Amino acid sequence: DAKTTQPNSMESNEEEPVHLPCNHSTISGTDYIHWYRQLPSQGPEYVIHGLTSNVNNRMASLAIAEDRKSSTLILHRATLRDAAVYYCILFTGFQKLVFGTGTRLLVSP
């Protein structure tokens, strides 16, 4: 299974942007970069995914490096509700999601 590396934790203030990094130096050409998050006492929740180009949706933006060896999940204005564990996962069809330990995001008022 392809591996990703994320910081254990990050802190942010409410209403500030948050950049969550992920390194995936062994990514293959068919691997999509998926992000999920898990709020306290809930199941994981899909956030966004991309292949090569940057992606935006209502929840976040995903910036992918040109060599695809790293990516950054961007929350444009953090809220208290964004406090969660964020998982960066390499995923292709016919495979299984392999969760690491993720990055715990703390958001202060």
Partner 1 sequence: EAGVAQSPRYKIIEKRQSVAFWCNPISGHATLYWYQQILGQGPKLLIQFQNNGVVDDSQLPKDRFSAERLKGVDSTLKIQPAKLEDSAVYLCASSLSYTLGYEQYFGPGTRLTVT
Q: What are the DSSP E strand ranges found in 14-99?
A: 18-23, 32-38, 45-50, 55-56, 61-64, 70-75, 84-91
Q: How far is the CB of 6 from partner 1 (least distance, A)?
A: 11
Site string for partner 1, 32-71 (x = CB under 8 A): x-x------xxxxxx--x----------------------
- What are the phi and psi torsion angles at 46 (to 5°)? -65, 135
Q: How far is the CB of 53 from partner 1 (least distance, A)?
A: 16
Binding positions for partner 1, rule: CB under 8 A: 32, 34, 41-46, 49, 85, 87, 91-102
